[in-house]
Amino acid sequence: MSSSFLAIASARALDAGQPVLGGRVVDEAGRNQKQLRCPRCLARVVSGCGELKQREGAVLCVPQREEASTAADGASTAADGAWSWRQQPHEWWWLLQDFNDVDNGGVSPVMNSPFGPVKLVLCCECQFGPFGYQMEGEALVWLCCDLLCQQEGRFARAEDDATLPPGLDAATLQRMLESGMATMQFHVTFSEQRLGMVLADAVKEDPSETKVVVAAFTELEGQLGPAELGGQIKIGDQVTRVDGRSTRGMDYAAVLDLIVGGKRPIVLHFERRGIDGQIPAQRELHQDWVR
């Protein structure tokens, strides 16, 4: 069966709302614009990001105990005992810039695979996997196309993706957010060119951990910008993605270049520690961004 026929069949199934195992439908730039889901429980793993890469000879190393009968069984107890490794060849992969692009996934402890220290990616909901990996010390995450389902986002039910983990109620989650033990992630879509916010680098001791955060809002001729008027964004919120692209390793100037030069509408992803978001709004006069 030809690859072109499979691509057409996958596109038709996606248009009908069906999750397609191994789906590889992308836009003109080779990027995934749909949802990637666990094939066992259909939990959402990734939304609207990931570059499709063809990697001939690439393999996924799966740890296996003698008594483990499936990849999922082996991965779910990966911290115990000694392991043998089974190498699964996969030609097509989704490349994520870092783990911030993963909506619902977990990683194993670092394990010594035949290719070096690696962390394996699993489903948080049902522990299916591994279906991807991240090399120790690297930001990039590789997910196997053949081991995930692709689905058109408009057919997904939001309530299925917003359930709390077992044993965690809403009141407990709220207390965790308020204490700083948990983080909140959200995204905002803008059609305006001027957003009305100032970005800055929150410098850490380790330069690789430096984050780009909202430092202030701006006003122009007495008018507030959409970033403040929308009410979702708070001072101190971290900008984690711009239209699906991770900001990891970028400074505030690089992030501003992406935002100012990006097409509209543009989607910005934010992360807020529970302790953040309590800083009073600060305003500055608007200035056009110039490098």
DSSP character string of 189-251? EE--S---EEEEEE--SSGGG-EEEEEEEEEETTEEPHHHHTS---TT-EEEEETTEE-TT--
How far is residue 138 from each of residues 144, 236, 254, measured CA to CA in Å?
18, 26, 20
Strand boundaries in 97-137, DSSP class E = 106-107, 111-113, 116-122, 132-135
Tokens 């290719």 locate to 115
Q: What pLDDT, on the 0 to 100 scale, is given for residue 69?
A: 42
What is the reported pTM?
0.57
What is the per-residue pLDDT across 100-143, written as a single tens digit (0 to 9) for each? 788 878 888 888 999 999 989 988 778 888 999 999 888 899 99
Length of the chain, in residues: 291
Q: Which residues of the chain have pLDDT under 70?
A: 1-16, 65-83, 155-183, 205-208, 274-279
Q: If DSSP codes are grouped into helix, strand and coil, which group holds residue 130?
A: coil
What is the per-residue pLDDT across 132-178, written as a single tens digit (0 to 9) for each? 999 988 889 999 999 999 998 776 655 555 555 555 555 665 565 56
| Sign of the C-alpha dihedral computed for residues 234, 236, 240 and 243 taken in this order | positive
**Tokens representing residue 194 in the block:** 């001027």
Q: What pLDDT, on the 0 to 100 scale, is given for residue 260?
A: 96
Q: What pLDDT, on the 0 to 100 scale, is given for residue 282?
A: 84
